[in-house]
A and B are shown apart, each in its own frame.
Chain A
């Protein structure tokens, strides 16, 4: 079995997971396609450094994340940061937090596009972390390795990301008349 064949067998089964992560990062499918292609080509170049038996999906997602960061740096485009006021909302003490008593029912009213859009509006670090934890269901340890931060940071980013996502969804819900102002 040649190198390309081994790579295809080991890495390509994770194509959908890498694609979903790319959509989570880019928000646009066309751009996500290019990012995924770059990721697999870069991974193929570095395939010699991949240790068989380790988590290939995490390895690919780490490459994806690095390429994405490089692209942001090159274009000097900051991630779509939330305005400061909203970050404060996301990080506020939850003594004042309104807990949705009917969370499941409320959330089912949103379309997939709305949920993905709400995610894409989060700051880059929260967006990827929340995606990896909630959608790909990776462990905090794997996510820490992918994003290059400590596990504690992963926890706080996930928590802040989830709170910020809730705020976004709440704003949609208000516009849709599902919640009071």
Chain B
């Protein structure tokens, strides 16, 4: 009797219908197949629960964002360079331009970066002020009245948080962000107090990096950390809702996902 070959076993394991007639007759080949299946399944289960760490995902996202920013700077340098070349400036001026070409994008890059960090610092400062004993809230619990308050103070009606699940709005208030008046809600949650600050700036302009996870309704989420605070932002319409608190990004995402659902 010709037993099933190793290569035929591989085809059987891949689901190709071969050698089945022989298998019905041959105990040895059935045992060999069972053994191969058992090894394959054990190997699969050994790796089954293995996942990349969230840190690794963060590192990759951060690197991708950095790469994109660097590529954008390089393109702008090339554009300036080509423009100068077309105008056929004198060599001396070209040398000066070359210095500018290097210095201007660098200063812009570092300027943008420090501006973004300053914006994050401002968001954290608003949150910390919200937690202070002197903070005055418009603390009416009725959503309609809170919406009226924002409408009168800010001129627009932001999406209003849905509470429940142990979350309650402590109040809302206005604050200054990037020399503009913005609104914020303070929400008590089972994990701690968070502020949701509503700004018109895009998450990228605040230096936030995109998260792998999305909200329950599928919106893209952005995150950053400053001092001891985590920030998670969701863009809805023309506004960015920045959740700030001393809570992990994961919980903040969960909370903001519930609040804005």
Residues of chain B contacted by A12 (CB below 8 angstroms): 57, 60-61, 212
Whether B47 and A33, one on each chain, are in contact in the complex, defined by CB atoms closer than 8 angstroms, is no
B131 vs chain A, min Cβ distance (A):
34
Residues of chain A contacted by B46 (CB below 8 angstroms): 112, 115-116, 119
Query: A20 to B59, alpha carbons, bound, how many Å?
Result: 17
A-B contact count (CB 8 A): 131
| Pick from B34, B43, B51: contact of A134, CB under 8 Å | B43
Known: A20-B47, A33-B56, A37-B63. A8 touches B210 (CB 8 A): yes
- Chain A residue with minimal CB distance to B214? A9
A1 vs chain B, min Cβ distance (A):
10
How many chain A residues touch B (CB < 8 A): the figure is 53
Whether A41 and B43, one on each chain, are in contact in the complex, defined by CB atoms closer than 8 angstroms, is no
In the complex, per-residue mask of A134-172: 1 if CB is within 8 Å of any chain B CB, else 0: 110101100000000000100110111011011001000
In the complex, per-residue mask of B30-59: 1 if CB is within 8 Å of any chain A CB, else 0: 011011101110111111011111001101
Whether A115 and B42, one on each chain, are in contact in the complex, defined by CB atoms closer than 8 angstroms, is yes
B6 within 8 Å of A (CB atoms): yes
- Chain A residue with minimal CB distance to B35? A103
Residues of chain A contacted by B40 (CB below 8 angstroms): 133-134, 162
Query: A1 to B9, alpha carbons, bound, how many Å?
Result: 46
Whether A130 and B34, one on each chain, are in contact in the complex, defined by CB atoms closer than 8 angstroms, is no
Residues of chain A contacted by B220 (CB below 8 angstroms): 5
- The prevalent SS among residues of B at the interface is helix
Residues of chain B contacted by A15 (CB below 8 angstroms): 52, 56-57, 60, 212
Whether A33 and B68, one on each chain, are in contact in the complex, defined by CB atoms closer than 8 angstroms, is no
B10 within 8 Å of A (CB atoms): yes
Residues of chain A contacted by B64 (CB below 8 angstroms): 4, 7-8, 40-41, 44
- The prevalent SS among residues of A at the interface is helix
Residues of chain B contacted by A116 (CB below 8 angstroms): 46-47
A110 within 8 Å of B (CB atoms): yes
Whether B68 and A3, one on each chain, are in contact in the complex, defined by CB atoms closer than 8 angstroms, is yes
A100 within 8 Å of B (CB atoms): yes
Q: Would you list 22 pairs from A and B whose C-beta atoms are within 8 A, ordered by A residue?
A: A4-B67, A4-B68, A8-B212, A12-B60, A12-B212, A19-B56, A20-B50, A97-B32, A104-B34, A110-B42, A112-B47, A115-B43, A119-B43, A131-B47, A134-B39, A139-B14, A155-B7, A155-B10, A156-B7, A158-B10, A159-B6, A162-B36
Chain B interface residues toward A at CB < 8 A: 3, 6-7, 9-11, 13-14, 28, 31-32, 34-36, 38-40, 42-47, 49-53, 56-57, 59-61, 63-65, 67-68, 210, 212, 220
For the complex of A and B, the 5 pairs showing the least CB-CB separation, nearest first, are: A19-B52, A159-B6, A115-B46, A103-B38, A103-B35
